[in-house]
Structure 1
């Protein structure tokens, strides 16, 4: 892509964003593309419908789980400095780390925390604490509230808990609170000059808020909760910044760890290690995992990606090393992820010429559904699976441990604690697609909508994987 081609991309994205937002009730959207020395940023709509503030090119937003790649970068910095070792048990550095299953935490290595292979069952564990002891309180709470889904290194399950433990680990070995470490060791050398680590900092500049559709009027309403608690900082609860800042961070990983302003943030070897496969579930809905990055195969091209949900918003960061490209975007309502996926695929297919084969070509109505029927659980989440009209039907319910957990989760989810029943059609044994979707819908980032079942023994699957997250048969 030369400069003229990137200008054409800018015009196309602007038209695509405008059309999608108007027809799908997305209040505001901002996106950026870097390619081969040039970059563009496109902004559209409203950052906050309550105030009417416009979404600008430099409007800040919650990074959400894109932060996990930053936390991983910080961990590998400490590995390079000889402070941490990836193959050492976490408890050597963090003796207070424990789970409800005796001895389970002792098996978790540092590398398991940042490769989503730790098995910590804490995906919806929301201790409500603020300030410099927040991560300490989170880790203390694991010992009495959270168990283990599987043996470390045995499987992959997207892990908020692992990243938060990694954040606390960083605090203990450096003696610096995680927000300060993020700012000093990452924001400054990368050149993320408009990034912050709290709502108190973000309010001093233009910042978007998330929205939810009112169930009665379907009008977009601002979220009642701007950020998750401080306890979720390293997993993506509190860091905030701009498209330009995320492009700079993505470019740092494109350039072998050297930031656009010339600072060495990470070694070439560590940057490459993050991009190598740590674990592969060999299932279309669960892309191979690196360290921090999820490694999405688009044909023969690998896209390093991470998306980030925040209360009423969603961000995405994609790095394509083979084509020297970074794409990042934020929309201030959850449905914006569909637009992000469409822009990503258009960039790959039309502008980079990447040939993307169809991931799912046909379904198989003859698959035996009985091994998958049952109840699956993880931290405060229950999924009931039954057979209805020759399809699997899943009913997902959040079961809060206490009132504080209920309040935080329902505000994060826009006021609901359960999802409508969802039907699934069999693609092959162990793999299912949500009914009513065309097969091509799963070619891109939204392959995460597929559901897989694993470890069938004695006629029953032991695990269900939806959205990269495992639940275990009750």
Structure 2
């Protein structure tokens, strides 16, 4: 029965991918589903428009932030070995770890790094270094250039910096460079035989590159930068692999830490700990956070997920423990996230029979907008929020710290340094939706498009949360 059901899934994904890529200018897409001991992979289109290379079932791609679940798995492995303790300050293992606010780093526990509750204000900090000392360079740079957004454990804000510090922490306690540790303890143990962390290795096999719309013709053009600097490895800058590899990793987390080949990667207790809620902001646009995993509630069903942007591409990994299902995919423009969401929702509702309730069931009238207007900032990012036509208007500006970081950021974003103004309509106090979207858009993964405001004091919100990231009132 399952084989026929998965054939239906395969046909459905092929159809959806072809239609979406055609209508939205995505050159290529590859996706895989594992369910109840059966597995399918679908590839469509072109991996690189410059060469015309086709997207194949075994074409490699950058994992992007999906890597954060791999990094967290590595941290839990060292906890099991007794080399790390989740409730010990990071500086105990990494004495050189410091931030620009004196004493701030001393309060950050190992747990805070992998639960995105560390408050490190470094989400766009892109130091350019490579080789064995890349992560050391990153951590050294935090001390002079990056402060904090909040007290550790107080809030939840998606943290690239926290994961990179975790990567350096792993190097310190194991004595092994992060790429080698990933290869030894994850790729080899899980059976991710086509995964690597270098463009030099990726070039030896079929590998997709990201694309951006050409400003004049809007046709997809290849990215000018394949991957982020090696300083971003543990947050998702460098790991590359295939759909089959990510399915194997997802299956390991479904099976209590045992890989498809039978090797134990994590204990059942550590696997369960990663999946358990560690922090909940209690707002629809920020799903509860486990360790590494984001916990997306779809009614009574929880989807453990992480998506990953790379220059001109986006990957996703979803694990549904209650239904023994793994879904992973990559599309080589950032707009492919819409297709990821569409397929995930189809798998849940049509294939698994999960009822997906509406996330937003109504809009309150006469919401007081004054607490939210103002300027909010985080590392190299400024968001000006003003009241306009019964809603909010946001202007986002990138404020580069130096020429090197500006070069990396603009290549990562396809040349964009400021976004056109965005309009948001109130749903209720503290929660806003981008104007022009039907409310059902937000029932799935795209709930991240909603914006929330938090910690209102003396009539002013202290924090804005967009895409899971906090900015603080200036």
* Normalised TM-score (structure 2): 1.00
Which structure 2 residue ranges, 5 or more long, are not aligned?
none
Match of 1:190 in 2: 190
Cα offset for 1:364?
2.4
Contact 1:126/1:408 (8 A) holds in 2: yes
Match of 1:174 in 2: 174
Name the Cα RMSD after superposition.
0.5
Match of 2:347 in 1: 347
Counterpart CA distance in 2 for 1:116 and 1:66 is 14
Cα offsets for 1:236-291 (capped at 9, x unmatched) = 00000000000000000000000000000000000000000000000000000000
Q: Secondary structure at the match of 1:395?
A: strand
Q: Secondary structure at the match of 1:343?
A: helix
Counterpart CA distance in 1 for 2:297 and 2:90 is 31
Counterpart CA distance in 1 for 2:325 and 2:367 is 41
Does 2:436 match 1:436?
A: yes
Cα offset for 1:3?
1.1
Match of 2:63 in 1: 63
Counterpart CA distance in 1 for 2:471 and 2:300 is 31
Match of 1:146 in 2: 146
Match of 1:201 in 2: 201
Match of 2:423 in 1: 423
Cα offset for 1:216?
1.1
Cα offset for 1:108?
0.2
Counterpart CA distance in 2 for 1:281 and 1:389 is 29
Cα offset for 1:298?
0.3
Cα offset for 1:365?
3.6
Contact 1:128/1:404 (8 A) holds in 2: yes
Does 2:94 match 1:98?
A: no
Q: Secondary structure at the match of 1:259?
A: coil
Which structure 1 residue ranges, 5 or more long, are not aligned?
none
Match of 1:36 in 2: 36
Counterpart CA distance in 2 for 1:389 and 1:68 is 40
Contact 1:431/1:450 (8 A) holds in 2: yes
Counterpart CA distance in 2 for 1:327 and 1:310 is 19
Cα offset for 1:74?
0.2
Match of 1:373 in 2: 373
Does 2:473 match 1:473?
A: yes
Counterpart CA distance in 1 for 2:180 and 2:271 is 22
Match of 1:356 in 2: 356
Cα offset for 1:361?
1.7
Counterpart CA distance in 2 for 1:219 and 1:365 is 41
Counterpart CA distance in 2 for 1:365 and 1:424 is 14
Counterpart CA distance in 2 for 1:65 and 1:416 is 20
Counterpart CA distance in 1 for 2:413 and 2:96 is 31
When structure 1 is superposed on structure 2, of 236-245 and 383-392 the one drifting more is 383-392
Counterpart CA distance in 2 for 1:362 and 1:315 is 32
Counterpart CA distance in 1 for 2:131 and 2:397 is 31
Counterpart CA distance in 2 for 1:19 and 1:286 is 30
Q: Secondary structure at the match of 2:371?
A: helix
Q: How many residues of Structure 1 are paired with residues of Structure 2 in the alignment?
A: 474
Contact 1:365/1:425 (8 A) holds in 2: no
Q: Which runs of 4+ in 1 moved over 6 A?
A: none
Match of 1:335 in 2: 335
Cα offsets for 1:25-66 (capped at 9, x unmatched) = 100000000000000000000000000000000000000000
Match of 2:250 in 1: 250
Counterpart CA distance in 1 for 2:457 and 2:180 is 48
- 5 Å matches for 1:445-456? 445-456=445-456
Cα offset for 1:388?
1.3
Counterpart CA distance in 2 for 1:240 and 1:284 is 31
Counterpart CA distance in 2 for 1:155 and 1:23 is 39
Counterpart CA distance in 1 for 2:19 and 2:373 is 41
Cα offsets for 1:350-370 (capped at 9, x unmatched) = 010101110012222410101
Cα offset for 1:390?
1.6
Cα offsets for 1:374-413 (capped at 9, x unmatched) = 0000000000000111210000111000000100000000
Cα offsets for 1:413-441 (capped at 9, x unmatched) = 00010111100000000000000000000
Cα offsets for 1:199-251 (capped at 9, x unmatched) = 11111110000000011100000000000000000000000000000000000
Contact 1:381/1:399 (8 A) holds in 2: yes
Q: Secondary structure at the match of 2:472?
A: strand
Match of 1:75 in 2: 75
Counterpart CA distance in 1 for 2:12 and 2:91 is 51
Match of 1:2 in 2: 2
